[in-house]
A and B are shown apart, each in its own frame.
Chain A
Amino acid sequence: MLKDSSAGYGLISIVIHWLSALLILFLFGLGIYMTGLGYYDDWYHKGPALHISLGLIVLLLMLARVTWRLLNPTPVALGDKPVQLMAAKLVKWGLYLAIFVVLISGYLITTAEGKPASLFDWIYFPALAELRADQVDLAGELHEYLAWGIIALVVLHVAGALVHHFVVRDRTLVRMLKPVKK
């Protein structure tokens, strides 16, 4: 029920998957919204603080997800067309990579001058590296462009899931909704 097996995902993987999916989409929208705000807008400070807090939560979720993935058997991908299986795999790895780069670049920007990153003023994550100005700006560009990259990959990922469900009619999508029995 909780653990993954070769047949499907357990509850923990499913919860992490959907929670991070919601948070990542919300963070993308919030990121675009808050960077367009004027100095006197209500959310000028609240927006970035929320963005950082939720980003830290996604970082923790992603670390838990990778750890859990390593501790559990990986469910076998459904389907028999090697090209499609490879494409699905590439999109998944692309998502992992892009999400981690966006998370790490965000973390580095926030902590660039040695001050910790605050999770709702409750937990403070220390600065791991102090960045020069040009490095912060580079991190900012990576953060923005790869956030769009994540969205592009999400579109492919969702399209793939829908094709599996409605065209191929296999259990790929259902497996991410219903925990495996054993």
Chain B
Amino acid sequence: MLKKSLLALAVSSIGVMSLPALADTYEIDAKGAHASINFAVKHLGYSWLTGRFDTFSGEFTYDPAKPEASTINVTIDTTSVNSNHAERDKHLRSPDFLNVEKFPKATFVSKQIKVDGDDKDEFDIIGDLTLNGVTKSITIEVDKVGEGKDPWGGYRAGFEGETEINMKDFNIKMDLGPASQTVKLELHVEGIKK
């Protein structure tokens, strides 16, 4: 009897302790390149041209029980734009596109997370994207990929996200034609718990 109540007390205290479970802070593993910021633009409407930003950093807070309380901020080095083509990358850095001399950084700061439906591993991140000197609210659709201990004593959580932005909205001058007005952003983010 005593044993049982002690056990019950122990169980309930664990429950109590885990209730307020503050969201953990994760650093995005850009150093280990377990995260990537990729973009895709339709080429003439016939195919996809893909590229990425090689250099960025950021962190997020995340609690699997309360994903709507999560936050994320990312800073991207726009000079690191890479589409595997020297002259095109030079053009992408120029004032025709990213204007990196004037705006070497792009940032994303979340404002709100919306979990729709029952699946807590699927949510929308609404936040401010600042790119080419223009700040605009965008919505990123996110799927959680997984989380857990890594083999080296750390703890990781990873997500994938997708959104689409209109180049004109961010004051990007170059016109790539009617089929290529928007850029798809494909994000893969793995964070290491701090």
Contacts and interface: CB of A to CB of B under 8 A. Distances in A.
B78 to A, nearest CB: 10
A109 B89 CA distance: 10
A39 B175 contact: yes
A78 to B, nearest CB: 44
Interface string A118-137: 00000000000001011011
Q: How large is the interface on A (under 10, 10 to 19, 20 to 34, 35 or more residues)?
A: 10 to 19
Contacts of B174: 39
A124 to B, nearest CB: 15
B177 A40 contact: yes
A138 B69 CA distance: 45
A38 interface: yes
A170 interface: no
Interface in B52-92: 79-81, 84-87, 89-90
Most chain A CB within a 10 A radius of its CB, from B79, B84, B85, B87: B87
A109 B87 contact: yes
Contacts of A75: none
A111 B93 contact: no
Interface string A38-71: 1110000000100000000000000000000000
A110 interface: yes
B33 interface: no
Interface of A: 38-40, 48, 109-113, 115, 131, 133-134, 136-137, 140
